[in-house]
Amino acid sequence: MNTATFSLATLAPAIPEIVLAFLVLTLLVMDAFLAEEDRHVTYWLAVLALVGTAALTAYTVGRPTVVTFQGMFVADLMSQVLKVATLLTVAATLVLGRTYLAARGLLSGEFLCLAIFSALGMMVMISAHHFLTLYLGLELMALSQYAMVALQRDSARATEAGMKYFVLGALSSGLLLYGLSMIYGATGSLELTRVAFAIEHNQANRILAVFGLVFVVSGIAFKLGTAPFHMWVPDVYHGAATPATLMIGAAPKIAAFAFVMRLLANGLQGMTADWQQMLAVLAVASIALGNIVAIAQTNLKRMLAYSTIAHMGFLVTGILAGNDNGYSSAMFYLVAYVIMTLGSFGMILLLSRSGFEAEELDDFKGLNQKSRWYAFVMLVMMFSLTGLPPTAGFFAKLAVLQAAWEAGFQPLVVFAVLMSVIGAFYYLRIVKLMYMDAPACEITLEPRADARWLLSATAIATLALGVLPGPLLDLCARAITASM
């Protein structure tokens, strides 16, 4: 490999990452010199850094695909779109969670910097074109998140959740590395194009590669939170402070999707038939388990955790179609899912206040009497998660189901459809509590206007995507075509 060609120009595709890394390091130092009452400066700078980097990335959208750093890093339309989505999601998480964090003494430089570091890790994952960069990005993201969950030192529940998340996360990373090492052994390369080439031209040891694939898929399933590798999801969602839950539940799914795309669709596309079967099992198990177990939950965060498992099952349903149609449908599903997650967790944050977590289902009782608009926001989120038109959730489901049907997974589609009816029950229960019950306790709403506006925007976006999904569907299709 020619190592003498280093020039500044090779850095160009990674400028957003470099800028964000520079900003977060500056912030880390600066925060140390700020007095406690000036902490909001760090918060605003953190949001600004994320939004600014998103704008910078958005500016690069549409540039042709570039692979740089000797094939370790790729900048294509898919990575640009997903990075913008990731950065905005992390920024939105901070805005929505601000009051909650401040009331619990968590709005510190540590939390904010960790959030940005994890965003940086996600960006690296999204642009990875090499097993090593994939893993580096993954670990940067995951380590920041373990710390964010455990940061609430005085809460036993959060510490326990942090521990569980860390131990199981480390285990899954181990599985993943083991699998990757076997694929390396089989193909002789860590770079995705070469791996794909070796497999396609039968230069790889097939048995070893399939064996490695099993471990890789298990690792992926852990990170996505699909059954039967879902055990950490409910506990961590429940135990972590709600903004930390949102940090884990929203943006990392975007990175995990990119991760699956790079590994399975780009690197191991020659083994599509093998991983399709494995993903089908994951999808069936997740959709069934997520929807059925969610019914028994009384804690909203746990319920949403199980709902996440079910939704990841649907996401996998799109991916397992194994063609561009399926991938772009899954990408649309992903965007819709992230908006819905921001909205529904945002509602929990909206109702939480100092010393009170609005995370039990009963805390939503009678919300319509207190605020018709925010009850409506939650209604939109719940019906979108159910998959009812006219919301984004409907077209997301339609897209992945038609892709899976076309790819020959008809029984899976019928199964998923029937399970959605079961799922409808628990989403409906929230609507029932808000509209048909009397308030059980006094409801207070988040005072900050920016968080309120953002929350309203998620509802409007969900409805807008439910009425006019065309542009985003097209963008996803172009992004996927460009990444193939």
Partner 1 sequence: MLLQGYLLSAAIWVPIAFGVAVLAIGNDRNPLPARWTALAGSVLGLAVCIPLWTGFEPTAAMQFVELASWIPRFNVSYHLGVDGISMPLLLLNSLMTVLVVVAHWEVITDKVGQYLGAFLIQSGLINGVFAALDAILFYVFFEAMLIPMFLIIGVWGGPNRVYAAVKFFLYTLLGSLLMLAAFIYLYIQSGGSFQILDFHKLPLTMTAQVLVFLAMLMSFAVKVPMWPVHTWLPDAHVEAPTGGSVILAAITLKIGGYGFLRFNLPIAPDASHYLDTFMITLSLIAVVYIGLVALVQTDMKKLIAYSSISHMGFVTLGFFIFNEEGMLGGMMQMISHGFISAALFLCVGVLYDRVHSREISSYGGVANRMPVFAAFFVLFAMANSGLPGTSGFIGEFVVILGTIKVSFWYAFLAATAVILGAAYNLWMTKRVMFGEVANEDVRALEDVNARELVFLALLAVAVIWMGVQPKPLGDVMSPALQELLRHVGQSKL
Applying CB under 8 A, which residues contact partner 1? 368, 372, 379, 383, 388-390, 394-395, 398-399, 401-402, 405-406, 410, 413-414, 417-418, 420-421, 424-425, 428, 431-432, 435-436, 469-470, 473-474, 477
Nearer to partner 1 among residue 165 and residue 394 (C-beta): 394
| CB contact set of 242 (below 8 Å; sequence gap of 6+) | 97, 100, 301, 345, 348, 349, 352, 357, 359
Place of tokens 């960006």: 123
Q: How far is the CB of 474 from partner 1 (least distance, A)?
A: 6
β-bridge mates for residue 360, sequence order = 299
Place of tokens 């009782």: 365
Nearer to partner 1 among residue 189 and residue 307 (C-beta): 307
Cα dihedral across residues 369, 370, 376, 381: positive or negative: negative
Nearer to partner 1 among residue 44 and residue 425 (C-beta): 425
Helices 251-260 and 131-150 meet at what angle, rounded to 10?
160
Nearer to partner 1 among residue 52 and residue 389 (C-beta): 389
In whole angstroms, what is the distance from residue 326 CA to residue 479 CA? 13
Q: How far is the CB of 391 from partner 1 (least distance, A)?
A: 9
Q: How far is the CB of 161 from partner 1 (least distance, A)?
A: 33
Q: How far is the CB of 451 from partner 1 (least distance, A)?
A: 23
Q: How far is the CB of 392 from partner 1 (least distance, A)?
A: 12
Tell me whether residue 181 is exposed, middle or buried, using C-beta atoms within 10 angstroms of its C-beta: 0 to 12, 13 to 18, 19 or more: middle
Q: How far is the CB of 431 from partner 1 (least distance, A)?
A: 7
Q: How far is the CB of 469 from partner 1 (least distance, A)?
A: 6
Nearer to partner 1 among residue 171 and residue 440 (C-beta): 440
Q: To which H or E segment does residue 4 belong? A: none
Q: How far is the CB of 473 from partner 1 (least distance, A)?
A: 4
Nearer to partner 1 among residue 222 and residue 394 (C-beta): 394
Q: Which long-range contacts (CB under 8 A, 24 or more apart) does 474-479 make?
A: 475/81, 476/81, 476/328, 476/329, 476/331, 476/332, 476/335, 477/324, 477/328, 478/77, 479/76, 479/77, 479/78, 479/81, 479/82, 479/328, 479/331
Place of tokens 């397992």: 320
The answer to whether residues 345 and 427 touch, using CB atoms and an 8 Å cutoff, is: no
Q: How far is the CB of 302 from partner 1 (least distance, A)?
A: 21
In whole angstroms, what is the distance from residue 140 CA to residue 167 CA? 16
Nearest Cα residue to 385 out of 316, 268, 466, 286: 466
Q: What is the DSSP letter of 359?
A: T
CA distances (Å), origin 399, targets 4, 327, 395: 47, 10, 6
Q: How far is the CB of 425 from partner 1 (least distance, A)?
A: 6
| CB contact set of 6 (below 8 Å; sequence gap of 6+) | none
Q: How far is the CB of 277 from partner 1 (least distance, A)?
A: 22
Nearer to partner 1 among residue 232 and residue 314 (C-beta): 314
| CB contact set of 144 (below 8 Å; sequence gap of 6+) | 114, 115, 117, 118, 121
Q: How far is the CB of 424 from partner 1 (least distance, A)?
A: 5
Nearest Cα residue to 249 out of 273, 270, 232: 232
Nearer to partner 1 among residue 103 and residue 482 (C-beta): 482
Q: How far is the CB of 332 from partner 1 (least distance, A)?
A: 9
Nearer to partner 1 among residue 240 and residue 379 (C-beta): 379
CA distances (Å), origin 252, targets 92, 135, 262: 14, 14, 15
Alpha helices in 128-227 (DSSP H): 131-150, 156-187, 192-200, 206-224
Q: Is 106 helix (H, G, I), strand (E, B) or coil?
A: coil
Residue 408: phi, psi to the nearest 5?
A: 95, 15
Nearer to partner 1 among residue 244 and residue 321 (C-beta): 321
Nearer to partner 1 among residue 277 and residue 410 (C-beta): 410
Nearer to partner 1 among residue 389 and residue 439 (C-beta): 389
Nearer to partner 1 among residue 24 and residue 407 (C-beta): 407
State the virtual CA torsion across 444, 447, 449, 452 in degrees, nearest 10.
Answer: -30
